[in-house]
Amino acid sequence: MDRSDSVLQELRGRVIEANAAKTPLRLRGAGTKDFYGEHCEGTLLDMRGYCGVVDYEPSELVITARCGTSLSEVDGLLARHQQFLAFEPPSFAADPTIGGIIACGLSGPRRSQAGGARDFVLGAVLLSADGQLLHFGGKVIKNVAGFDVARLLCGSLGILGAITEVSLKVMPLPRAEQTLRFEMTAAAALESFNRWACQPLPISASGWCNGQAWLRLSGAPSALHAARTRLGGELIDAALAEHWWRSLRDQTHVFFREASPLWRLSLPSTAAPLAGAGTQLIEWGGALRWCTGDAPAAELRALATAAGGSALQWRGGAAGQRFHPLSPTVLAIHRRLKERFDPHRIFNPGRLIADL
């Protein structure tokens, strides 16, 4: 039995024990997203010890890693084969674990074009409340055997069990990238982002802040050249561009550093610019709007709902009310899933929904 087996056995033991005693566990990787979601009480279960890349073959476009594997290790390995995680998981200025990345399900600037974390999950192993290791999905790109529980776990914040291993689809690194910048208002940026997205342009990220729209192009050099000719704008120095997109991904941008309270609105990309929502930063071609200011929570929720989206209180605000409320029918399904997967509520109780 190698070291990782014994670590896994120890984790199983801790879960079985907690389940028998009905005492809650607080699952944690590197803790880079401790701020995310609701507060939850429980004995810390540190998942970092179960780590290491289990399987990676570049020509299969799939990597399988244990939950405690650090993002830097995965990124480094992929980069050596000119591949990467195309959903650009945020690291929030530290080094998160793969398990934490999937449990939180957050994605970076490439989300609107490449897809989000959930789109890249191919399989997962779940350590269930009774200490079993359940395999869902697999290591192949097309797989419809059984319900897609692996993707259900993505963004579940650990409330259904502990993710011990994940298989992710990886992509080849773009051959070239360029960033263009345009001086424009938020309204003009939203209009432009949506118009450009209707054309076959190699756009891989877009953002707007403080009177400037940023647009990243990725792909074959010839495609980038053609797009630049068509779009105009100011070509940004590669290092500065890299820094800017990273500052959005990891929220080191001055907007995020100063913003409190901070709201994350997930809206249709074509939703009108938000009036009266304070200072704003726009990502994902208009589909993600960050705003700060003192607008009351109820007002922002109503605004998001009316636009066909949702509002999440990212920082600040009242405990237990950070996430956008669910409809009663959807909430009932959440409740029944939790009851069946974790009847004694030992996994991250309350982290996603107050009383689950």
Partner 1 sequence: MVQAEFDADEPRWSDAAEAPAAGRRLAVAEALRALLPADCVLSGDNELRPYECDGLSVFRQQPMLVVLPRTEAELRAVLVECSRLGVPVVARGAGTGLSGGAMPHASGVLLSLARFDRILEINAPARIARVQPGVRNLAVSEAAAAHGLFYAPDPSSQIACSIGGNVAENSGGVHCLKYGLTLHNVLGVRGCTIDGEPIELGGRTLDAPGLDLLALCVGSEGLLLIVTEVILKLLPKPELAQVVMASFDDVGKAGEAVAAIIAAGIIPSGLEMMDRKAAVAVEPFVHAGYDLSAAAILLAESDGTPDEVNEEVAAMERVLQAAGATAITVSRSEAERLRFWSGRKNAFPAAGRISPDYYCMDGTIPRKSLGQMLKAIEQMERKYGLQCMNVFHAGDGNLHPLILFDANCEGAWERADRFGADILELCVQLGGTITGEHGVGVEKLNSMCVQFSPAERAAFFAVKRAFDPPGLLNPGKAIPTLARCAEYGRMHVRQGRLAHPDLPRF
- Contact set for partner 1, span 139-158 (CB under 8 A): 139-149, 151-152, 154-156
Other Cβ atoms closer than 10 A to 355: 9
Other Cβ atoms closer than 10 A to 250: 18
- Contact set for partner 1, span 272-301 (CB under 8 A): 284, 287-288
Pick the piece of the chain touching partner 1 (CB under 8 A) from 2-10, 46-54, 193-201, 205-213: 193-201
User: Among residues 116, 237, 262, 255, which one has the least CA distance to residue 177?
Assistant: 237
Distance, in Å, from the CA atom of 282 to the CA atom of 193, rounded to the nearest integer, reads 10
Chosen residue from 54, 197, 231, 297 binding partner 1 by CB under 8 A: 197
Work out how close the CB of 353 gets to partner 1 at its nearest, in angstroms, rounded to a whole number.
7
> Helix or strand or coil: residue 162?
strand
User: Among residues 112, 238, 240, 239, which one has the least CA distance to residue 178?
Assistant: 238
Pick the piece of the chain touching partner 1 (CB under 8 A) from 70-78, 125-133, 247-255, 272-280: 125-133
214 lines the binding site for partner 1 (CB under 8 A): no
Amino acid identity of residue 202, one-letter, is P
Chosen residue from 29, 100, 116, 349 binding partner 1 by CB under 8 A: 116
302 lines the binding site for partner 1 (CB under 8 A): no
- Contact set for partner 1, span 228-257 (CB under 8 A): none
Distance, in Å, from the CA atom of 43 to the CA atom of 188, rounded to the nearest integer, reads 49
Nearer Cβ to partner 1 (48/121): 121
Nearer Cβ to partner 1 (252/270): 270
Size of the site for partner 1 (CB under 8 A): 90
- How far from 150 is each of 18, 139, 161, CA to CA, in Å? 23, 11, 12
Distance, in Å, from the CA atom of 19 to the CA atom of 43, rounded to the nearest integer, reads 12
309 lines the binding site for partner 1 (CB under 8 A): yes
- Cα-Cα-Cα-Cα dihedral of 164, 169, 174, 180, to 10°? -70
260 lines the binding site for partner 1 (CB under 8 A): no
- Cα-Cα-Cα-Cα dihedral of 11, 16, 19, 22, to 10°? -80
172 lines the binding site for partner 1 (CB under 8 A): yes
- Contact set for partner 1, span 21-80 (CB under 8 A): 57-62
Nearer Cβ to partner 1 (48/110): 110
Nearer Cβ to partner 1 (209/267): 267
Chosen residue from 31, 138, 233, 293 binding partner 1 by CB under 8 A: 138
